[in-house]
Amino acid sequence: MSRTFLIDTDTASDDAVALIMALRSADVRVAAITVVCGNLPVEAATRNALYTVELCGAEAPVFRGAEAPLLRPAYHSYAFHGRDGLGDMDYPAPRRAAEPGHAVDAMIDVVRANPGLTLVTLGPLTNVALALQRAPELATAVGRCVVMGGVACTVGNVTPVAEYNVWADPDAARAVFHSGLPVEMVGWELSRFDAALTEEEMAEIRALGTPFADFALDCNRVTLEAHEHLTGDRALDLPDPMAMAVALEPTLCTRQSPHYVDVECESDLTRGMVVIDALDTGDQLGEWPNGGPVISRTHKIAVCWSIDAIGFKSLLRRSLA
């Protein structure tokens, strides 16, 4: 039975691998790919999405979206993905152009036409927040919303406490987390350690001998070096493919629980920090200490705490074979 996906992305190197996983899944129809400013300016991210769709021989329409965060200047991640977002491999320009119209309009239209679809977000949540501003009913029309973003009670990758996608547009992330969307948060930390590809595992992927396998490794060559520089680990972490894996095979998330979640938007020190009421203290105490709420209690989202790393890598290899 076919499933319908809508994918929102700021297409850099790991996003591209996640797109391949969805586009090459036999039981998934990608109704649209909407592109947002994030890792790259939206024009470059759109180009990379179009290139990846062509690589897969797919027909998914690509729409260009928000050019900046809701309230803040854009900050791009060239150091992690290269100046072109695909490891500076000088891939040729795509033959296709983006579809006419704005990604936010496309998102609204696609959800309305496909109630119950799965929305997968791989970048800052600007497009999604804008769509919900215009059409709040989308929150109940989406079947699943798998968000690659944030870190669950651990260290960040762009500041000590924040993951890039949420940090880049924390105001959008807060709006989406509070919207009533059935959010499943897949944080950056889940792609580290056992889930990251070792040099031996990267060699096994290279040995698959397919254009998809070569592309997945080549376009992530800058990411590999940046991850080693940041963490000291000579391994390739792939957070967007991790989130896509959970969207494709929900059982790969081995522990998940619903909690009130908020996003810090005011503090320079902790901007973009995802604050999770992991012990449900608000429910247990009935009220917060010292009066006012420490964390918004409008809507619980599902937080993924652990991943089947072996299952993830198996799915990734199948997608690239």
The DSSP letter of residue 193 is G
pLDDT band at 317; cut points 50, 70, 90: very high
Residue 6 confidence (pLDDT) above 90: yes
Domain range holding 24?
A: 3-320
Can you give the CATH number for the domain in which 198 is found?
3.90.245.10
Distance spanning both ends of the chain, measured CA to CA: 22
Q: Residue for token digits 């996608």?
A: 165
Domain tally, the chain: 1
How far is the C-alpha of 159 from the C-alpha of 167, rounded, in Å?
Answer: 8
Give residues with Cβ within 8 angstroms of 82, minimum separation 6.
13, 88, 89, 222
| Average pLDDT in the chain | 95
pLDDT band at 295; cut points 50, 70, 90: confident
What pLDDT is recorded for position 87? 98
The letter for the amino acid at 152 is A
Residue 292 confidence (pLDDT) above 60: no
pLDDT tens digits, one per residue of 99-116: 999 999 999 999 999 999
pLDDT band at 133; cut points 50, 70, 90: very high
What b-and-e string marks burial along 26-50, b requiring 16 or more CB atoms within 10 Å of the CB? eebebbbbbbbbbbbbbebbbbbbb
Residue 123 confidence (pLDDT) above 60: yes
pLDDT tens digits, one per residue of 58-70: 999 999 999 999 9
How far is the C-alpha of 64 from the C-alpha of 59, rounded, in Å?
Answer: 16
pLDDT tens digits, one per residue of 232-290: 889 999 999 999 999 999 999 999 999 999 999 999 999 999 999 998 876 665 565 55
- Region of 71 (left: φ > 0; alpha: ψ -120 to 50; beta: rest) is alpha
How far is the C-alpha of 112 from the C-alpha of 119, rounded, in Å?
Answer: 12
What pLDDT is recorded for position 288? 59
pLDDT tens digits, one per residue of 150-161: 999 889 999 999
What pLDDT is recorded for position 195? 97
> For the chain, what's the residue count?
321
What pLDDT is recorded for position 289? 59
> What DSSP string runs through 250-294?
GGGEEEEEEEEEEE--S-TTTTT-EEE-TT-HHHHHSSBTTBS-S
